[in-house]
Amino acid sequence: MVGDTHTAFVLLDGYARRKHKCFLAEMNLTRNGQDYRLCFRPTGVDVKSPHQYICKYLTLDARRVEAMGLAARLTDEVARALDDALSPLAALS
């Protein structure tokens, strides 16, 4: 599954960069192993900006993330979740 999660990370990060001017800073499996906790940050934020450390956390089902990595394809459902969660961050870049 490690390769699958790496592929999922690349897919999620790429989508966030292209569509929302954000990057995936962290992707951690929760203690119960049921979900991945994702942390996104905007790209291009000035270090002197009050938004320097702003981020958005999103939780996705671990099976969905691993299946997405195995298929090497971002699902429409995950893309919609990213669109909803990351739209406010794109305005800060």
State both tokens at 12.
């999620």
55: domain range? 2-90
- pTM for the whole structure: 0.90
Q: Dump pLDDT digits (tens) for 39-58.
A: 999 988 888 888 778 999 99
Average pLDDT, the chain: 91
Q: Rounded to a whole number, what is the largest CA-CA distance in the chain?
A: 40
17 or 2, greater pLDDT = 17
3-state SS of the chain is CHHHHHHHHHHHHHHHHHHHCEEEEEEEECCCCCEEEEEEEECCCCCCCCCCCCCEEEEEEHHHHHHHHHHCCCCHHHHHHHHHHHHHHHCCC
Residue 58 half-sphere exposure, CB side, CA atoms within 13 Å? 23
Distances (CA, A) of 63 to 18, 22, 43, 55, 66: 25, 24, 28, 24, 5
Mean pLDDT of the region 3-17: 94
Domain tally for the chain?
Answer: 1
Least confident of 10-14, 63-67, 87-91: 87-91
